[in-house]
């Protein structure tokens, strides 16, 4: 894990990012935190609330096409119970994006009434997108500016000295063109692992075999039928054998053999990770929403 940690974030970097986001916050009305629906907990930033203070926020559960819809619904209900509006989107197809706009308007309802009373008709709602690397910030921004509603018009705003630019995205919204890149909470090794499962951490720095053993164990715990169906193997459920044994079975089934009949675990590992990440194992959520009391 310490390897992973040192790649992207170090205290100086975090402080700088935090400062930049703090400055940008002054320019916007609302922040949208983008999460990966497969790992809503690990893809959220632990100090977001501290950074954005009283600025209105909403949570966007992206990559919902890859996640278990029942679990996404539970997560959304959980966020709403915490008074944080939340929506599921899929930036691959644009599903949920109209709902995103609606939710922003609802969240800012009181503010919009004030603007209206003050005669600020046509005052656009300014949005900033935030999130850890790889959750789909650019994809969402592209969706918004590229969709039918949007005009990919970029303007420099007078009075803003830094290079912030705005996209006018139609329907009364403006989007800050540079997303805020947040850091994940690397203190917890499980978080690093879940980020690695989803491909949010560069593979070159990872032990892919070890990672795939742990992934297959977790899948056997949460979605055993998905593994059985995809690879046509029969894995005992109690107790579940260690990950390497399951991966050996998978490798054997797929004919991934080395010269002396040994299983090519490296290939099997790469395949499992790839198939999980691309959704070939079905729609899977690795982290469950906290139970409501």
Smallest separation, CB 122 to ligand GDP (Å): 30
With respect to ligand GDP, which residue has the nearer C-beta, 146 or 172? 146
With respect to ligand GDP, which residue has the nearer C-beta, 92 or 185? 92
With respect to ligand GDP, which residue has the nearer C-beta, 201 or 263? 201
Smallest separation, CB 93 to ligand GDP (Å): 8
Rounded CA gap, 149 and 174, in Å? 12
- DSSP code of residue 96: T
Contact 175, 34 (CB under 8 A): no
Residue 249 to residues 72, 137, 186: CA-CA distances in angstroms?
Answer: 31, 37, 32
Q: Which residues bind ligand GDP (CB under 6 A)?
A: 62-63, 65-66, 90-92, 131, 133-139
**Residue 169: which of 131, 137, 142, 130 has the closest Cα?**
142
- The CB-nearest residue to ligand GDP is 136
With respect to ligand GDP, which residue has the nearer C-beta, 182 or 268? 182
With respect to ligand GDP, which residue has the nearer C-beta, 138 or 164? 138
Smallest separation, CB 78 to ligand GDP (Å): 20
**Residue 72: which of 106, 32, 39 has the closest Cα?**
39
Give the three-state DSSP class for 60. strand
Smallest separation, CB 270 to ligand GDP (Å): 17
Rounded CA gap, 85 and 99, in Å? 11
Residue 56 to residues 149, 171, 187: CA-CA distances in angstroms?
Answer: 23, 19, 27
Smallest separation, CB 274 to ligand GDP (Å): 13
Smallest separation, CB 259 to ligand GDP (Å): 36
With respect to ligand GDP, which residue has the nearer C-beta, 43 or 249? 43
């Amino acid at each position: 894990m310490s390897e992973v940690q040192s790649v992207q974030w170090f205290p100086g970097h975090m402080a700088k990012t935090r400062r930049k986001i703090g400055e940008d916050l002054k320019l916007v009305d609302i922040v949208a935190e983008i999460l990966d629906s497969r790992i809503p907990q690990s893809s959220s930033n632990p100090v977001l609330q501290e950074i954005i203070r009283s600025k209105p926020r909403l949570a966007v559960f992206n990559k919902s096409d890859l996640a278990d819809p029942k679990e996404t619904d539970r997560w959304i209900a959980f966020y709403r119970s915490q008074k944080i509006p939340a929506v599921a989107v899929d930036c691959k197809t644009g599903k949920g994006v109209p709902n995103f706009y609606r939710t922003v308007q609802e969240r800012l309802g009181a503010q919009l009434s004030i603007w209206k009373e003050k005669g600020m008709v046509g005052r656009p709602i300014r949005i900033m997108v935030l999130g850890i690397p790889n959750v789909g910030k650019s994809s969402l921004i592209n969706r918004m500016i590229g969709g039918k509603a949007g005009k990919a018009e970029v303007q420099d705003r007078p009075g803003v000295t830094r290079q912030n630019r705005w996209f006018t995205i139609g329907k009364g919204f403006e989007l800050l063109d540079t997303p805020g890149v947040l850091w994940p909470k690397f203190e917890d090794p499980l978080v690093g692992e879940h980020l690695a499962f989803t491909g949010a951490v560069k593979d070159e720095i990872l032990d892919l075999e070890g990672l795939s053993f742990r992934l297959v164990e977790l899948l056997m715990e949460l979605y055993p039928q998905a593994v059985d169906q995809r690879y046509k193997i029969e894995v005992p459920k109690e107790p579940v054998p260690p990950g390497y044994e399951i991966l050996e079975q998978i490798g054997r089934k797929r004919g991934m053999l080395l010269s002396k009949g040994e299983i090519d675990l490296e290939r099997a590992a790469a395949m499992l990770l790839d198939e999980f990440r691309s959704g070939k194992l079905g729609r899977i959520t690795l982290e469950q929403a906290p139970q409501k009391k």
